[in-house]
Structures are given as structure tokens and as C-alpha cells.
Amino acid sequence: MTWHVLGAGSLGGLWATRLFRAGVPLRLILRSPQRLEDYHNAGGLALSETGKSCRYPVPAELPDTNTPIERLLVACKAYDAEAAVAEVASRLAAGAEILLLQNGLGSQQAIAERWPDSRCIFISSTEGAYRQDDFGIVHAGQGQNWLGDPLNLEPAPWLAELEQAGIPHAWTDDIMSKLWRKLAINCAINPLSVLHDCRNGALPAHREQLSSLCDELGDLLRACQQADAAFDLEDEVLKVIEATANNYSSMHQDVRNGRRTEVSFLIGQACRVAQQHGVVTPRLATLLEQLQAFLELRGLPAD
Ligand code: NAD
Ligand code: KPL
């Protein structure tokens, strides 16, 4: 079965190159004829790992190509994902699978509700990749890909293809717990790193702020029946800060590069869900307001 990868950016490129070189049939879907032409001129996708770069001529096509899609890996940002799937929705075969790589929460649910006939598999990834040029990806950080389907615990039958491609992965019966846990960690770290304009390692200087955010996030997770994701949250946040002390968070990097952030699917989503559950989260709400004001001041979308 052919994989279709929608979004040839950092993570989409990282997945596509590894699948392609393992001989797994796949096609990239690029958003416009101009981008397809640029891609062909580049000669494919380059993946750089441990200092060595290799280019792979992964076949590519446009969203309106006239062939069915049975397995779609959506590798766009959370704010683009639903619209991107809509562009290829008429090509989805009956019972197609949609694999969602987005960080945060909200985009996955929107897609699962809009295309209920497809099996939506959610993925929480802690791998790291960035683009050094348009079609050149650097594999920057080892990590894990947790996969799961909140509606169907049966593992996907193609996990062996990920094994064959050397893509680290594990199926989980509780993907929502993984996604909530990562969202909470991102909510505690990323906005503070932007507002204090610092590397993750400088955040323990704001310990009181971190602690109260973790308390509120813990309350929120428990109200959402995600007690496991709340367990020892502050400890884990401090561990992540230590392990990534030299890094700037992804949100900090987005802001520094003048790119839209995924704020709406991280702390924005946390505040929306808190309101739905009647959980009082004043520190999170203030942090969201400050972050949105900061983004607007820099001409970046606040959603
Ligand atoms: P990216 O910006 O590098 O890539 C997204 C790609 O999607 C871009 O090439 C963009 O042109 C393309 N795209 C957008 N709309 C499209 C459309 N309609 N049709 C076709 N292509 C379209 O983003 P990324 O860093 O790969 O992140 C993707 C998701 O993965 C995000 O939610 C991010 O938070 C998550 N994630 C990324 C990393 C990482 O290290 N990069 C790690 C973990 C999670
Ligand atoms: O996931 C991260 C990010 O920067 O988005 C870490 C490094 C864990 C910080 O929240």
C-alpha cells in the first residue's frame, strides 16, 4: 500500500526519506505547481544525519492528482492540517487511514470528526528535525513516535514498515495521555521561554511561575480524566528543562524566525478546555494573554 505524505517540511521530510530508502512505496503531496517544479529542480529531498547528507528522489504529486489515497500521513503544522486534508479529501478511499503528526491538541479532533469514515491515528513525536533549505532536512534529535487510535486499540497492521525504515515507534493504548502530557510540558516551558527570551535552561530562575503553571495544568489534566498525564508533572518539566537546557523551545524558534506559532493548539487549547470543564486556571489565562499580546506586537498571528 502506498503512503501519501502531505507536507514536505521538517517532520514530513524526515518520515518520507526514511520510508523511501527502505523501499516503502510513497508519494509526497506538494501544495502548488510552483513548489512541485522547485522540488523537481532540487532533485528530491535531502536528509542530513550525523553530518552526512543524502538526496532521495521521492516521487511527488499535487493535491488534485486523480488517484485514490489509502494511507495519508499529515505532516503540516496544526493550524494548516484540517485545510490540507480537505484539499485531498475527495481522493480518500473507503476506510482510508489518516496519520496525524501534529503537536498539541485540537487539530486531530477536528479532522477525526470531519472525516469519520477514515481511521485517524494520532502520533506524538519527540523526534527533532529542521529544514536547512527548502527540500533539505536535518535530523537533529533522537526521540520516539507514540502512535495510537483513541477509538480502536488494535495496533495498525503496518508497524513493521516503520521498523524496516528505522523510524522509532511504539503503539500505545492511551495516545491521549501521551498527547496531553506533551501538551502540558509544552505549556509550562514554551510560552515562558518566549516571554523571557531565554533558552530552556534559564527557566528554573522562574521557579514560582513554573510551579503554579504545573499546578493548574495538573488540575486541568485530572478534570479531563488524564490523571496519569498529571503524575509528577512538575518533576518531569524540570527534567525536560535540564535535558534541553541549551535549546531554545520550538515556539521561541518560531517567533525568532517570524513564523506563526502553534499557540492555539497548545496553551490556547489548554485554556479552552479548562473553561469547558469549569477549571480555574488564572496563571495559564494570564500567560496566554501575555503571549498573544507579545505575538501581535511582532506582527505574528495570535491564534
Ligand atoms: P514544517 O513547517 O517544517 O512543515 C510543514 C509543511 O507542510 C511545510 O512544508 C508546508 O509547506 C506544508 N503544508 C502546509 N499546508 C499544506 C498543504 N495544504 N498542502 C501541502 N503541504 C502543506 O513543520 P514541522 O516542523 O515539520 O511540523 C509539523 C508538525 O509536527 C507540527 O505540528 C509540529 O509541532 C510537529 N512536530 C515537529 C517536530 C520537529 O522537530 N520539526 C517535532 C515534533 C513534532
Ligand atoms: O517540545 C519541546 C519544544 O520545544 O516544543 C520541548 C523542548 C520539550 C520544550 O517544551
62: left (phi over 0), alpha (psi -120 to 50) or beta: beta
Average model confidence (pLDDT) for the chain?
Answer: 97
Whole-number CA gyration radius for the chain: 19
Q: How confident is the model at residue 88 (pLDDT cuts 50, 70, 90)?
A: very high
| Ligand 1 binding pocket includes 100 (Cβ within 6 Å) | no
What percent of the chain is modeled with pLDDT above 90?
99
Cβ(84) – ligand 1 distance below 6 Å = yes
3-state SS, residue 185 = helix
- Nearest protein Cα to ligand 1, atom 22: 7
3-state secondary structure (DSSP) of residue 114: helix
- What mean pLDDT is predicted for residues 136-162? 97
From residue 94, how far is each of 71, 98, 123, 131, 264 by CA, in Å?
11, 12, 22, 34, 31
- Model confidence band, residue 45 (pLDDT cutoffs 50, 70, 90): very high
Looking at residue 180, its pLDDT comes to: 98
- The string of pLDDT tens digits covering residues 268-297 is 999 999 999 999 999 999 999 999 999 999
With a CB cutoff of 8 Å and minimum separation 6, the contacts of 260 are 77, 79, 254, 300, 301
CA distance 204 to 2: 47
The verdict on the CB of residue 103 being under 6 Å from ligand 1 is: yes
Ligand 2, atom nearest to 244 Cα = 7
CA separation for the pair 213, 125 (Å, rounded): 23
Tell me the CA–centroid distance for residue 68 and ligand 2, in Å: 36
Q: Which of 68, 59, 49, 72 is CA-nearest to residue 25?
A: 59
- How far is 171 from 147, CA to CA, in rounded Å? 5
- Residues 6 or more apart in contact with residue 182 via CB below 8 angstroms: 103, 124, 126
Cell numbers placing 130 = 529542521
Q: What is the pLDDT of residue 37?
A: 98
pLDDT on residue 134:
92
Is 52 tagged catalytic?
Answer: no
Dihedral-angle region of residue 258 (phi above 0 means left; psi in -120 to 50 means alpha; beta otherwise)? left
Catalytic residue among 52, 178, 182, 239: 182
pTM: predicted TM-score of the whole model, two decimal places: 0.97
pLDDT at position 90 is: 98
| CA distances from residue 274 to 113, 194, 277, 280 in whole angstroms, order as listed | 21, 22, 5, 7
